[in-house]
Amino acid sequence: MTKLTDTQAIILSAASQRDGQIALPLPDSLRGGAAAKVVGAMLTKGFLEEVEADIRKGEPVWRETGDGHGVTLVATDAGLAAIGIEPDTSAAPEPSPKTRTPREGTKQATLIAMLRMPNGATIEEIMAATGWQSHTVRGAMAGALKKRLGLEVSSEKIEGRGRVYSLPSA
């Protein structure tokens, strides 16, 4: 069995008893930098993962993303296994809270649509369509698309157009 601290074991045990294996709220004794350090270690080890919080369902928020959405913490199968709980595979399959799909009509959806066009899109074109600044466009591609959604953004320099970014067609 994996070596866990007492705090990590408490967080995972509490999460295992909640709907959706949500790890929040953290123990009252864990605040500020200590909470960030413990959660960071658990994210790195794959015991927890960040997923978009459904505010309408009252899911607690761990942190805010730059685009106005909240993120909650969910215990993974590896985290549950670390405390000796095997995932229940006998139940009817439920939609995984890990699945992230962009909402329609958002600037992120606009960004993805532009990057999936046959000719891709430049930073300037994306800025014009979304109203974002260049650093926000780059951040959205690196954070939301690559890290959170797992999309592979590619770029190439095209003469007369500059650097063009694209995604593989869906």
29's CB contacts (< 8 A; 6+ apart) are none
Q: What is the pLDDT of residue 127?
A: 93
Q: What is the pLDDT of residue 121?
A: 92
Q: 157 has which bridge partners?
A: 163
pLDDT tens, residue order, the chain (170 aa): 568 888 888 898 888 888 888 888 888 888 888 888 988 888 888 889 988 887 777 788 888 876 767 888 998 888 888 888 876 655 545 444 444 555 667 888 888 889 888 899 999 999 999 899 999 998 888 888 877 778 888 999 989 899 999 987 65
Q: What is the token pair recorded at 4?
A: 């866990």
pTM over 0.85: no
Strands 154-158 and 70-75: unpaired
Q: What is the pLDDT of residue 96?
A: 47
153's CB contacts (< 8 A; 6+ apart) are 115, 141, 145, 146, 165, 166, 167
Q: What is the pLDDT of residue 123?
A: 93
69's CB contacts (< 8 A; 6+ apart) are 52, 53
Domains of the chain: 6-82 (1.10.10), 107-166 (1.10.10)
Burial class of residue 32 in the structure, from the number of CB atoms within 10 Å of its CB (0-12 exposed, 13-18 middle, 19+ buried): exposed
82's CB contacts (< 8 A; 6+ apart) are 1, 2, 4, 8, 12, 47
Question: Identity (one letter) of the amino acid at 164?
Answer: V
